[in-house]
Amino acid sequence: MMRQAGRYMKEYRDVAVKHPSFRERSETTDLICEITLQPFRAFQPDGVILFSDILTPFPAFGIDFEIDDYKGPMLEKTIRSAEDLKMLHEVDLSKVEFVADSLKILRQEVGDEAAVLGFVGAPWTLCTYIVEGQSTSTYKTIKSMCFNNPEVLHKLLSAVADALAVYVGFQIDAGAQVIQVFDSWGGQLPPHMWEEWSKPYIERVVRKVNQTHPGVPITMYANGSGGLLERMATLPVDTIGLDWTIDMEDGRRRVGDKAVQGNVDPVVLFAGEDAIEKAVRDVCRKAGPTGHILNLGHGVLVGTPEESVKHFFDVSKTITY
Ligand code: CP3
């Protein structure tokens, strides 16, 4: 389940009281492992997802950031000009050693009981933070740059894509058996712009990883991807993550022979056991017997009852074909 470790779990909130900084929780090996394993122990999912953030690798290639409790990520320096690009440097994996250390421990802890999943943000999504300097609802600065300063933005996206390919390989070497690419803000682009500003850079990451680490399955997820599905399916990835705004039957048809992941509406987990069971069965029936990773259509929401998450997993285990 996307974001299966996190704030909806009491055990997690208890850790957060003792360690109030999200950077500390997501950058300290013992805490990462403990938090990642909380849902594994509670629900026995088939996949264990590294507790981390899409911004975690930033310092490894020259981008510093802080997290404000209210505003989210804040970058002191943004990249908007050719001069600013000098801030970037070759990937220094020693800055993210805790990621590899955690994945190694997690592989040992879960053994053959579950797959260990790593993830990265898509270059476009990460660059929204690098250019805007913080979260945005309009993407005004970066989208304007697409028109007014395309060379610099293309250079930035290329550099970030190359750094991410190294970071993904590093996660795989350490024990990640599946990688998910989150283009969380890809759906903010008109499809023809996604073709130019996001897709080629996801492709750049995936092709490099397919070369250095062949055979590791890669899932591509974009939030709000209804207008993008056919385009996403042309990427050299194995699985397309579907958000909950698309009917599974339509999604299946639109991505052709790729595997699919998803796509139960995360809000169904607030609606009680019968609704959960119906939603899970409905999605599984529409997805069919093979090439489907049951999941939510996006991450578990804060406030979701833990019993509902348990019920989701319990129901999924009763489904046979
Ligand atoms: O599409 C996706 O699901 C990926 C989503 C995503 C993550 N980080 C993964 C994540 C995005 C878009 C980010 C960027 C980011 N990092 C944001 C979003 C800001 C925006 O633009 O809307 C924020 C707030 C951060 C920093 C951060 N990440 C905080 C403060 C927290 C909450 C930590 C806490 O315990 O209070 C997170 C959590 C987070 N981001 C997780 C993941 C997988 C862990 C699970 C969770 O807490 O939900």
CATH code of the domain containing 18: 3.20.20.210
Report the C-alpha gap between 283 and 276 in whole angstroms. 11
**Residue 75's pLDDT is what?**
97
**Residue 267's pLDDT is what?**
98
**Residue 299's pLDDT is what?**
97
Q: Does residue 33 lie in a domain region?
A: yes
Task: Tell me the residue range of the domain where 184 lies.
Answer: 10-241
Residues with CB under 6 A from ligand 1: 2-3, 6-7, 16, 22, 53-55, 67, 72-73, 135, 182, 184, 223, 298-299
Q: Does residue 235 lie in a domain region?
A: yes
Q: State the DSSP code for 294.
A: E
Q: Does residue 258 lie in a domain region?
A: no
Q: Does residue 253 lie in a domain region?
A: no
- Note the residue count of the chain: 321
Q: Does residue 213 lie in a domain region?
A: yes
CB 239 within 8 A of CB 203: no
Ranges of residues in the chain whose predicted pLDDT is under 70: none
Of all atoms in ligand 1, which is nearest to the CA of residue 223?
1
Q: Does residue 195 lie in a domain region?
A: yes
Q: Does residue 27 lie in a domain region?
A: yes
Helix (H) or strand (E) holding 26: helix 22-27
Q: Does residue 302 lie in a domain region?
A: no
> What residue owns the CA closest to ligand 1's atom 1?
184
Total count of domains within the chain: 1
Residue found under tokens 């680490």:
213
CB 239 within 8 A of CB 253: no
This prediction has a pTM of 0.97
- Beta strands 72-74 and 66-68, pairing class: antiparallel
From 9, 32, 50, 54, give the residue whose CB has the most ligand 1 atoms within 8 Å, as the site to mutate: 54
**Residue 136's pLDDT is what?**
96
